[in-house]
Structures are given as structure tokens and as C-alpha cells.
Amino acid sequence: MKAAAFNYMQPKTVDEALGCLEQLGSDATILAGGQSLMASLNMRLSNPAVLIDINAIDELNGISVVEGRLRIGAMTRLAELEYSPLVSQHAPLITMVMPHIAHPAIRNRGTIGGSIAFADPAAELPACLVALNGQVVAQGPNGERRIVATEFFQDLFETALTDNELLTAIEIPMANENQRFGFRELARRHGDYAMVGLCASSDWSSDNLTELRLAYFNVGPRPVLAEQTASDICRIWPQVRNEMSLDQLESELDPADDLNASSAMRVHLAKVLTRRVIEEWLS
Amino acid sequence: MSDSLAVLKGDNNISLTVNGESISERVPVRRNLADFLRLDLGLTGTHVGCEHGVCGACTVRLDDKIVRSCLILAIQADGKRVDTIEGLSDDGHLEDLQAAFHARNGLQCGFCTPGILLTAAELIETHPDADREKIREFLSGNYCRCTGYHAIVDAIESVVHSRQKKRAI
Amino acid sequence: MSSHSENRWVLDRPNSYIGRSVPRPNAKRLLEGRGHFVDDIVLPRMLNVVFVRSPYAHARILSIDTTAAQSYPGIVAVVTGAQLAERHEPWVGVLKHLQGIVSPPQYAMAVEKACWQGEAVVAILAKTRAEGEDAAESVQIRWQELPVVADAKTALDPDTPVIHDSLENNLCWERNFAAGDVDQAFETAAVVVEETFDIGRHTGVTVEPRSIVADYQPGEGKLTVYQSTQAPHMMQNVFAKHLGMNEGDVRVVTKDVGGSFGIKVHVYADEFAAVALSKMFQRPVKFIADRLESFVTDIHAREHLVKARMGVSKDGKIQALEFDDLTGIGPYSMYPRTSGIEANQIVNLTGGAYRIENYKAATKVVFQNKNVMCQYRAVGHPVACLIAEGLIDEAARQLQMDPVDIRRTNLYPDDSYPCKSITGMAFENLSHIQSLDKLIDMMDYDSLRQEQSELRKQGIYRGIGLATFIEVTNPSPMFYGVGGAAISAQDGCTLRLDAKGNVFCATGVTEQGQGTETVIAQIVATSVGVAMENVRVITGDTEVTPYGGGTWASRGCGIAGEAAGQAGRVLRENILDVAGVILQTESTALDIQNGNIVDGADGDVLTTLEEVARVAYYRPDTFPEDFQSELVVTRHYVPRDYPFAFTNGIQASYLEVDNETGLIKLLKHWCVEDCGTIINPQLVDEQIRGGIVQGLGAALFEHCIYDAEGQLQNGTMADYLVPMATELPDIDCAHVVSMTRSSELGAKGAGEAGTAGAPAAVMNALNDALTPFNARVTAVPLTPQKILEALGTLSP
């Protein structure tokens, strides 16, 4: 199908973009990489009045280290993330995840800001951000604020961003040498949205596993940080092989049924993925 | 809000480079790049297979990177460089890939072929030592219904090898 | 001139192209993005048609208000189904040889009610597609929802509403066949295996969607239709007949087609509407089905629920095979081939590779409020193969017999021919045993079994699955013609020597990428004696080519190729007649080789084709008065001795299943296939591979999923899963050659064999892998969910 008509603006600065949002309110839709939005427009699933194209805002580019955090500009293309030495050094979990996101041509255009702001519950990067305890940097008429990932994703395609805010960057605590990361997803085909996925990070000091963060995706309307399951695993560590029961996952995850997997299947798969990530860490 | 920030509606002028040629056209704001290339410029080698961004038939190069032209607005290409299958054929960029595909019959109906060739070109440029598994992975976003991909992988692999040989000399 | 062959003149030609993997000349333009697809066509004053489609699976149209739509920018006209119905004759998808088949008349757009979600209801003619879609949103239709028939299993229940008032019930067709005494045979069988096979409907998903540009020219009263179709002559007949035009005033042109696989051999209501609209408004009309439309209107195929059983002796010999098939099509039987053929094939062909003496098969074809369903690559064979190959593997398991051995026990021995199957299928010459031997060797079966056994101990579950199959090719009029369809089983080839010694060739079959034009050129070049570069093949133009059938049922090479070879021989003779006169020699002492006239004995070049043409065309005054050169030759061919040229083959799948997740990794696939003489080995192998992959897609991923309200749940490229490069293995192909004596070339067909056997091979491999768990899956696609349910990990 062909998109319905809309108007279009292309601000050159964050301030200009904020001005558009202020003036247009809910009439405005931000166009970042367009890999989700344009498909939706082409199917006439959404009908925005005005597209605010933020691709020309230079301030939104760039990957850097700022005050001990890895700062990634919202418009950083997924392909840039994929091959960035800074990212592989300071946020290796993102590097692990990237090849599983869609396909090369999509990654050349799609952006991290777009993926986080769109908050598709089946997407990898939101769960990745939760696993890494990252933050979203947003700018609005009242200035800049930081929203921790677990508070940012609120409901199905709903985030903490207000209508007049722009997501400008993602900040991630830099990985230290005691940390381990894990990523597994199960998809019908490579690059598809996963039936279930797991982004995990943990701290290893001597025999203890601490700070275990298990962030599952496509298990509900937003990424789920399974805190109970994680603390149980840490408690019995390292005797996990025989004693690890993942039954708590059944109450922490509440996935929907869909055409690829029933709710029960998703929970089962989440357990399988958890075991496999743990197994990988043990070996 | 800045007074100088325009609201584009209806039809607008864009200027861009397509296959090395300077183009100025007036296009509807909502027209995507694939439709612009086909309808406004008559460059019909870029094909439309789904308009969801899934099949890859519409793949073109935008500022030297492969993208889905059905997911980009024509006005977003203003000031940029677009290369399509026709241009990349004529300037010889795809020559060894085309020869390999031809010899190995890495195409049947040809509808997915422009997208596949452009993707293959970027694959070899970014992964010059790609093995069969990597080739399949990189191609995983291009849908071909006719070949079953085996011949395509063979053709691309042969180009990887021949370019490796040339570099070794 | 008889085509029977002890005489294989064409295969003995010098400088022969037969058996050479020549690259396709017409691929070059496709590699440059310079193909000629229908959507590339822009004609003056051309309009785009956008259809408003029914959102309901079954609903009466109470009223349609198009006034708002008509005033949208760029809109030229808005036409309802009732308005269009006044301008054309409806069609009925029945054929006489499917006794008792019924279907109500179908119009181009819904008139009184819509019978499937997606059926076209209103047509909007607009300057651009986008403008048409804008206007479409404002068309006001008042609907009265009607009860939906969305479950084939209950379609014939007394309290299920009947979709069509003119019919008694929702039965389109049924067929019962019995031979031998199955009841007795089952009673005495050592082992009886029973299974239910549930095959989900799926569809073709051609990368180029259905595309048509109709150009009615009032000045001449002539209609030209540019269509992405497989059968231009059939379409010519249909457009003329249902628009009340003289067939001579209708021309159908088919250039490049972006994949068809049978999807594009049918008459689609919306395509016909586009043509009718062009005639109505007397200007070109273009319709390109977008992807969302394609999923709800391209024919679906293979929705079957089969309850089957097989009885075997303790030695594994099949005693009896019986099944009951239920297939749910759409609300109309497709035109003109009918939606009964797929079921008919299943009755005719199940178990056809094996000698079976007691056989009973029943099928019921029922109407539903879902998208229409009809022939798709390999028509019926994949289901037939799933049934027989699934049962025989289960029998092997119960007898603790190797699947190879049980097949060897039952396959027709290679010296059985000619013979007929229990359903009356006539086999000229097949090579099941030789193919089996070749496959086992090629895949190193014993090593794989060894590897499987060792990995099992490590908790890694791999499976090997075999599937033997037969495949219908080169159909005679027995397929459609005898039923009254204007579908030609014969085909023709016209050859013309041009003034510079080139050969122009026009053939009635068509090209969709399989290499039709190349293969025909190879045959022509060989038979005439010229280089391929000097042969130009034209296909897909009813104005220019001989009357033919187009490309379907793997007939292109076997039928049109034979006509081309015969035409080539006669053209060669005619050319040599001229050369003989010029050189004052007996024409029989001459030959044409490499574009030259040569001495037949020693190959010495005597003159060139160009010289012969020059004299014939510019200096015929130098010929004797009673001599007239005839440098245009047409020959036709139709197989006469066998209704179909059966081919055979066997495939194997090697896969690994993750028993915790249900995900399958296809490791490798093999196929040994026998299609008789192979003109271009690379092209044949690529047909096998492409066909296999369509079967693999069906086995693991593809399913048009409907809910109880007849709503398609997964009609996008993101939700309907087609196989992509990472999911697929490399595919090894090999051949046995059993030439048919029905033609000189000896070629059977090859286009569909891959699809016939692949789903069964994968299903058998999966069930082989699951043997340690005593689990089986016989519902296709074999999804992770179903596998985990079979394993008991999840409850169904």
C-alpha cells in the first residue's frame, strides 16, 4: 500500500525538534531510522499528521565515553553500533545482540534511539538496555532528564517519554572485567523478532555471582527483569546445575499467545534460554 | 519555534544525485524512494515486492550503504547520493558478481536479483573473507523464491575467492 | 510426421547443445535491472485501479455509497461489482471430467455478497495508486454479516450454513476410488499403521506480485493485455469469452514474469476486473496486487486433512493403502482449471511409486469462506507423498526395518515397465530402484546412520528422512482438454531464417525464469545447426507465437521443446533444399553446422547460411521456375501415447532437532531425479533446488492461518514465514536418465519434482529424529510448538 498523506518537517537541531513537538503535540510523529514507522505507514496502520524527521540533527550522532558512561547518540545507526570498537569494549552485550537484529540493510538505517523509543516488546535493544541497567537521556522544554531503563518501558509500545520530549541519547555503565554477559534468543528465522529472548549481565567476583540481571523480551508488553529468579540463582551459585529451579519464571513472566508460540511455550523457552546462558557461563 | 523551519506539504522540490547524475524533481512528500525511482525517474530496475521492508527487492545504495528504498521517503534523499542497479551495472561496480551469477545461474525470474546483487556487493566489501555461512547470514534479509539460495551462495562464494586471489597477487 | 523414437536424430547432431549447461542469454538484462516486468509499463492516460475489499469473510452488501470517493483528487471513476457485472459474463470453475463438480457463477467483483475476506467489492480508477487508496477509505459500504464457514471439518454438517443459495450444501466435489479388497487386506496384514496428516494451507508468495495492464483501444476495438501470467493463450480465450469479444481482437503479451509457480496460471477476479474496466473506460488500466492483497487473493493451496492407514506384511510388503481426504477450498472453484484437480491428483497418485494391489481413496472438496484455492507447484503430489511416505516410514519403524529396505521391498522394480498403477496411471519407464541406489550412495547413508547413533548418545537428535515420489509432467489433453477447458496441451514452434542467417523462433510456452527460452534455443540451435547466439526466442505473445498452452505441469521442455526440435529439423531440410539448388548438389549430401552449409560427409564449408538467405530473399530469380524456398516452418507436438509423462525421484533430508526448543536445523538435502533427457543440466538442477526449497518452506514455516471468523491472521511478509537463506541447507542433486519414447528428444519435465518430495522427506527426518522419544508430528508445517507438544513438554 501507499502511505496516506502527511506533512513533513526536518529540524536541524534538538531545540528545533523540541519546538516542533511543542507546537504540534500529538499531531507529530518522530521519524528516526524509519524501519518500523515507514512500514507501518506503508500499511496505513498509522496516520500521523506531521512527520518530524530527525535524521539531520548532528547532535544526535556519536558514540563516546562521558563521565564513566558509554554515551550513544539517539541517531546512531545499528550498523555503526555493530562494528563500533567503543561499544564492543564497553558494552559487549550490545555487540553480541546486533547480528540478530533484522538484517544488514535495516541496520544501516535503523537507530538505537528509534528502537528504544518505539519499545517493541519483541525487540532486543530495550531488553539489552534493561540488562545493562542503562539510562535514557531525554530532552524536553524543561531541559534534560535521565530515565533508568526499568522505568522507561512502561507498557505495550508505551514509554516514559512525554509528547514534548525527544530521546537524545542512551547511556550505559561501562563494562568492567568482572562482568559477564549473555544473550540468547529463539526465532523461527534468523533476524525475525524472537519468540523469546534473554539479555543477561552479571558480576563475577571469586565464587560469587552478584548483580545478576536477567532481562527477557517478548514475554509481555515490555522487557521483564526477572529479579526473583536472578536472586535465587545468585543464592545457590555455583551449584546451579542440579539445584536450579526456574519455576519462579512462571510467575515473573506473563507472555501472550501468538501464532508462533503459546504463553506456556514462551515460559518454557525462557527457562531453556536461562539454563543455556548459565551453562555457557559455567563452561 | 524557528520561523525558518518549513512545513513541507503536497509536492516538493528535491535535488539529489542518482547514478552519478544530478537530478531535480518535484515529488509528493509521502512518496517513498522506491516509487520515486520507478515513477519519476523511470529507473525500474529497483523492484517493489512488499513495501514492508522485508523482502529486499527494493534495495538501493544511499550514500554508499544498502537500504530498503521502500522505507525511505524520496525527500529524505534530498542532497544525497543514490545508486541503483542500473548505475552500479553501468559503472562496472557489479561486474564480477554479475558474471558469476550468470555463469552459475544465481537468478531465475530476476525480480529479487537487483536487491541481491547490491546486498552481495556490500557483503563482500565489508566481509571480504566471508564463508558460506556468513554469506547466507548476510543475505538473510533478501527473499528469493526461485533459486532456493544455493546457486546464489555459490556465485557469491566464487567472487569472494576470486577477489581473494587477486589480493594475494 | 511421427514423433516416435527409435529415431533420435536430434540427439545425434554435431555441435549439439543438448546436455550443456549454457548460461541463459536472457539473464543478462535481468542482472542489470533491465527486465521488462508489467509494473514497468506506463501507457498514455493509464489509470491505476485500487480495490475496496471485503473485511468480512461472509457478508451481504446492503448498500454502497461512492459519492465521497468520487470527489477525491485524482479519481476518475468508482465502479461497484453490480455495475461491472453488467459488462461481463460470469464464469464457473467446473470441468466435465470431474464428475459432479459444482460451483456457482463468479463475477469479477462481489455483487450481492462477499464470500471471502479480501474479495474485491468496489474498484476505484485513479491517476496514482496512492490517490486511489486515499479515496478507498471513504467508500461507504453497509454490510450484513453472515455466518462464516471456516472449518472444513464441519462444512458439510447439517446445521452448517450453506454458502451459496443455488447449491444444496457446501460440497464442491467428491471422488471415491476403490480397487482390490482393502478390508480383507487390512485384516490379514501383520502391521496396520494409522495416521492423520494435517496439512496447513499455504501459498506461493511470488516476489513479483500479480500484475496486469489492460489496454483497450477504442479506435480498433482491440484489447491488449500485458499480464504476468503463465498461459497467455488461455487468458486470451477467457478475456474474449467473458467480455463478449472476438478472440482475434484480444492480444495477451507476457514478457518477464517475477516468479509464478502455478500462482499465475489462474483467472483472478480482480485481474479480470481490471481488464473489464479498461474496456469500460476505453483507456489503459493497471492493477498491481500489493503484498497485503496478495496474501488474501493469490490462490492458496494444499489445505488437507487426511486420515490414512497402510497395512503391511511382516516382510514389509504393502498389503493395502486407504485414506479419507478432506480439503477446504475457497467459496468458488477456480476458473478454468477447477479446484478439484489437487484432490484428484492425491487420489490418483498416493503411493504411486509402490506396487499396491488393494487401494481405497476418498476425497471431499468443500467450500469455505476463505481465500480461493487451486493448483500450485507440484499440485497434490506433496500431499500424496506425505501420506504414503509417512505411512511407510511408520510401518518400517513398527517392523524395525530400515526405511531404505522397506522402500526397496515395495518400489516398482526397474524392469516393470510399461505398467499401470492401481489407479490406472500409465508408467512408461521409471527408475525407482536405480534412483534409490544412487541416493544412498550419494548421501553416504550408512555413515549418516552411524553419526546419528553416536550423537544420540550425547543427547543430540538428528534424523534422516526419505521420500520417493512420482511426478506428472508433459500432460496430454487428459488433464484439462477432455473436461471442456480451453487449455491447450499441444504446443507449437515457428522458426524463420532471417535475411542474415539468424533464426527467429516463436514458441507457445512461456518463461518465468526457469530457462524456457534458453532450453528452446539450445534445441533449435542444435537441430538447425547454428550457434545459439544466432537464435532468438520469442515467447508470450498471442499475436506472434503459435497457439500453445503456456508453461505449467512441467511441460515446457518435453512438449514445446519437441515441437522446436521437429521444426528445426524441417527448417534445416528446407534450407538445404535451397542450398542444394544454389550449389547444384543433392540436399541430402549437405548439412548445416555452425551456421555454415557443409559437405555432409567431411564437414567442408561450402557456403554460409547468410548467403543462402541472401539468394532466397533477394535473388529468387536465380532459382528454377518450379522451385520456391520456404524458410519459415511451424511444427506442433502433443504427447499421444501416454496421458502424462511420469517422472520419478527420491529425496533425503538430514536434520537436527533441538528437543528442548522444538527448533529444527536443516543440515543437508539430496535429490536423485529422473526426467529423461536433460537439455541443460544446470537449469534442471536449479529447478529441483528451487522446488525443494518451496517444499522445505511448506514443511517448516508456511501456513495461511485463519481464525474462526475466516480472517487471515498472518497476511504480511513479517507474519507469513517464507524460507530465507540462513534456514536452508545446501542441496545436492543427481540424475538417472530414462528417456521417453513419446518424443525424439526423450525429455520429460522437471519443474515440480523438488516440491513433490521435500515436505515428506523433512517430516520423515523429524520423526526419525524423535524416535527415541516415541513422538511423531504429522501436521505440517512442523512448528516448534507442535514438536514440543509431541514431546510432551507442552500440552496441546
Q: B79 and B32, same structural domain? A: yes
Please report the pLDDT score of residue A206 as a whole number.
66
Question: Does residue B111 sit in the same domain as residue B71?
Answer: no
Mean pLDDT of chain A, nearest integer: 95
Do B75 and B100 fall into the same domain? no
Instruction: Give the pLDDT band of residue A237 (cuts 50, 70, 90).
Output: confident
Contacts of B84 in chain C (CB under 8 A): 33
CB contact under 8 A, A35 and B68: yes
Count of the separate structural domains present in chain B:
2
Cis peptide before C418 (omega within 30 of 0): yes
Do B66 and B105 have their domain in common? no
Which residues from chain B sit within 8 angstroms of residue A102, using beta carbons?
141
Partners of residue B21 on adjacent β-strands: B18
| pTM attached to this predicted model | 0.97
pLDDT score of B136 more than 80: yes
Please state the separation of Cα C584 from the chain's center in Å.
Answer: 51
Tell me whether residue B89 is in a domain: no
Cell of residue B4, nine digits: 525558518
Of A4, A34, A104, the CB nearest to B122: A104
Do residues B143 and B100 both lie within one domain? yes
Asked if residue B29 belongs to a domain, the reply is yes
| B24 and B79 part of one domain | yes
C418: Cβ–Cβ under 8 A, 6 or more apart, which residues? C426, C427, C428, C429
- Domain match, B36 and B71 both: yes
Q: What is the pLDDT of residues A8-18, one digit of tens each?
A: 999 999 999 99
Enclosing H/E stretch for A30: strand A28-31
Q: Tell me if chain C has a CB within 8 Å of the CB of B25.
A: no
User: Where among B84, B102, B127 does a domain terminate?
Assistant: B84
CB-count exposure of residue A63 (10 Å: 0-12, 13-18, 19+) = buried
Name the amino acid, one letter, at C59. A
Q: What is the pLDDT of residue B3?
A: 57
With an 8 Å Cβ cutoff, is B31 touching chain C? Answer: yes
Is B106 within the bounds of a domain? yes
Helical H segments across chain A, by residue range: 14-24, 37-42, 78-83, 85-90, 92-97, 104-109, 112-118, 124-131, 149-152, 227-236, 240-243, 248-252, 263-282
List Cα–Cα distances, B166 to B66, B159, C169, C477, in angstroms: 25, 10, 71, 56
Q: What nine digits make up the cell of A257?
A: 499467545
> Closest chain B residue to C257 measured between Cα atoms?
B109
Domain boundary among B63, B84, B105: B84
Spatial distance between the Cα atoms of C49 and C51, rounded to a whole number of angstroms: 6
Residue B141 lies in a domain: yes
Cell of B5: 523551519
State the CATH number of the domain containing residue B77: 3.10.20.30
pLDDT at residue A241, as a whole number: 78
The domain that holds B127 is classified in CATH as 1.10.150.120
What's the pLDDT score for residue C7?
72
Q: Which ranges constitute the DSSP H helices of C532-604? A: 561-583
Q: What is the pLDDT of residues A29-38, one digit of tens each?
A: 999 999 999 9
Tell me the residues of chain A between 210 and 269 that have a Cβ less than 8 Å away from chain C: 259-262, 264-265, 268-269
- How many CB atoms are closer than 10 A to CB A264? 16
User: What is the number of CB-based contacts under 8 A between chain A and chain B?
Assistant: 105
C-alpha dihedral sign at C1, C6, C8, C12: negative
Please, which pLDDT band fits residue A254 given cuts at 50, 70 and 90? very high
User: Same structural domain for residues B37 and B102?
Assistant: no
Q: How confident is the model at residue B2 (pLDDT cuts 50, 70, 90)?
A: very low
Same-domain pairing of B12 and B66: yes
Indicate whether B61 belongs to any domain: yes
Q: A141 CA to chain B: closest CA distance, Å?
A: 12
* Cβ <8 Å between C205 and B145: yes
Q: In terms of domains, do B62 and B107 share one? A: no
- A188 vs C: CB within 8 A: yes
Instruction: Please list the ranges in chain C whose pLDDT falls under 50.
Output: 1-4
For residues B80 and B19, state if they share a domain: yes
All three cell numbers of A269: 523457552
Task: Identify how many contiguous H helices and E strands chain C contains and give both numbers.
Answer: 19, 31
Contact check, Cβ <8 Å, B1/A23: yes
Q: What pLDDT, on a 0 to 100 scale, did the predictor assign at position C6?
A: 60
Expressed as residue numbers, the domain containing B102 is 94-168
Asked which of B16, B50, B84 is the last residue of a domain, the reply is B84
Hey, are the CB atoms on A105 and B137 less than 8 Å from each other? no
* Burial of A229 from C-beta contacts in 10 A (0-12 / 13-18 / 19+): buried
Strands B11-18, B21-28: pairing kind: antiparallel
Taking CA–CA distances from C128, the nearest residue in chain A reads A2
Kindly state whether residue B100 falls inside one of the protein's structural domains: yes
Residue B75 shares a structural domain with residue B104: no
